[in-house]
Amino acid sequence: MAIETSAARPPLTVLSEEEAMFRDAIAEFAAQEVRPRVQRMEREEKIDPDLITRFFEMGLMGVEVPESLGGSDGTLMMVTLAVEEISKVDPAAAILMDVQNTLVNYPIRTYGGDVMKATYLPQLASEKVGAYALSEAASGSDAFGMQSRAEQRGDRWILTGRKLWITNGAEAEIYVVFANANPAAGYKGITAFVVERGFPGFAVGKKEDKLGIRASSTTELILDGVEVPNDNVLGPVGQGYKIAIDTLNGGRVGIGAQMIGVADGALHAALDYTKERRQFGKSIGEFQAVQFQLAQARAELEGARLLVYNAARLKDAGRDIALEGAMAKLISSQVAERVTSLALELHGGYGYTKDYPVEKFYRDAKIGTIYEGTSNMQLQTIAKGLGVR
């Protein structure tokens, strides 16, 4: 029996030297570049454009893009580490680069032709933000019940419809858009397209006013006869459903990384506070009841982290991670809710104010059980993996 060595695949709890250096560099970047901007971005409900520029300069917007196309030639594990470290400071900033890497660069890199990859990946790695447009008003969890249509006319396609809940919608210049080219075929007519903001008929609509990750833009997209060249069909016509599912499987690892980062940031804030806050003559962290709550949170966080890291490792190894991605997102989002809630409670009344970071972590955590597939959708995927139909 062949035994896989640690040299061939590092243990989940030990990062390679390159990965550890990368993680440490991103942690320093988050502390120096992201943290000073968090409160202002939250108030203005907008990612600082200068921070986006810094993301590009750090190579964070094209982590898995080949060096020959201007990227960093990294791995999903490195994307995971970057999203986690930035989310410890601000998950709203982290989701911008997460979507770029897992939902935009990935499908273009995996399913695009040579011309498409050479055209768009260098732009996405160096200067242009991307967005992923699947959801609609009547097709959230039922993503393949979409009403957007694509009609071929000569050397171009005409897209009509309306997309909702599009992360990065306000900042993006390049969009992966899904529309049905053959409604009679149901989901087998769904096709993916790469759409530029400047294409005729395309417009960014309403920006949502959200509970959490408020600096991250969430918008509608209006497709009013958008003219898309034939060369911008992503993958085969009618294979959009396959591209969407495969892309979301990896995207859920990114959301898992965001959630463990949120939980870690909140837990460390709680640890610091419980060491400083004194009641009954000693710090509240000296009370066993508080210690046990923190210990439970730490154990749950580590369990979620291992699920996320495992899914990333498997994806990098070329494995199908539909099941592992669903489990990682499900558990990490649940852990993030529990840990951020505990952190807020341990701050007492102060936790309910904006003077401390935990109220923001608490609000930011909630989205993890909703976007890129609700918890019920993840449970459905896991049940199918068990053979439960």
Return the bridge partners of 163, or none: 221
Pick the closest to residue 328 from 367, 364, 381 (CA basis). 381
> Which member of 33, 42, 85, 372 is catalytic?
372
DSSP 8-class letter at 104: I
Which region holds residue 146: left if phi is over 0, alpha if psi is between -120 and 50, else beta? Answer: beta
Q: Per the structure block, which two tokens stand in for 275?
A: 């060491």
Inter-axis angle of helices 240-276 and 358-365, nearest 10: 160
Cα dihedral sign, 87-91-92-96 = positive
Q: How far apart, in whole angstroms, are the C-alpha atoms of residue 274 and residue 42?
A: 26
Maximum Cα–Cα distance across the chain: 80
Helix, strand or coil for residue 24? Answer: helix
- Distances, alpha carbon 151 to alpha carbons 71, 85, 111, 233, in Å: 34, 43, 21, 12
H-helix segments, the chain: 17-29, 38-44, 49-57, 76-87, 91-99, 106-111, 114-126, 240-276, 288-316, 322-346, 358-365, 375-385
- Do 267 and 290 form a contact (C-beta atoms < 8 A)? no
DSSP 8-class letter at 102: I
**CB count, 10 Å around CB of 172?**
28
Instruction: Specify the length of the chain in residues.
Output: 389
Burial tier of 310 (Cβ tally within 10 Å: 0-12, 13-18, 19+):
middle
Does the annotation mark 372 as catalytic?
yes
Pick the closest to residue 301 from 264, 326, 274 (CA basis). 264
- Distances, alpha carbon 174 to alpha carbons 59, 131, 178, in Å: 18, 7, 13
Catalytic residues: 372
